[in-house]
Amino acid sequence: MRVIGLDLGSKTIGVALSDSLGMIAHPLKTFYFRNNMLDDALEIVVNLVKENDVKTIVLGLPKNMDGSIGFQAQYCLDFKDMLEKELEIGVVMIDERLTSVMAERTMMSGDLDNRKRKKHVDKIAATIILQSYLDGAKKG
């Protein structure tokens, strides 16, 4: 059972994919699309889901630090609705507060320069989102 993890931004979507057993998340790629054009992001994800026989989608939900839903979180919830309508697959929302910070720190500890970090931060954040879901699924 393959699971895909997504970190959605206004111009990028970081993507991670689980192994076939659904245990380990691997960074896949950061895809770019036109600013706030969710239809473009949807096309990217639909193709990836079909190519990789994905059964579950995990999407980061960027809540505010106080737990409230702001503009970016609503943007992600809108994308969730689009995915569910298009693919008829359940989309699990995972609180992604601080995943980009965790991704940056991980890459800094790996001694990547700033330019390389910016290029990889979204797919690393997607990997953290996906792995947190997979770890929770193992416990459940």
Do the strands 54-61 and 91-95 form a parallel or antiparallel pair, or are they unpaired? parallel
pLDDT digits (tens, 9 = 90+) for 71-82: 999 999 999 999
**Residue 96 — very low, low, confident or very high, per pLDDT cuts 50/70/90?**
confident
Report, as an integer, the average pLDDT of 86-91. Answer: 94
**Residue 139 — very low, low, confident or very high, per pLDDT cuts 50/70/90?**
low
Report, as an integer, the average pLDDT of 5-20. Answer: 96
The Cα 53–Cα 138 span in angstroms is: 20
Domains with residue ranges and CATH for the chain: 2-139 (3.30.420.140)
Instruction: State the pLDDT at residue 66.
Output: 87
**Residue 136 — very low, low, confident or very high, per pLDDT cuts 50/70/90?**
confident
Query: 101 or 36, which is more confident?
Result: 36
pTM of the full structure: 0.86
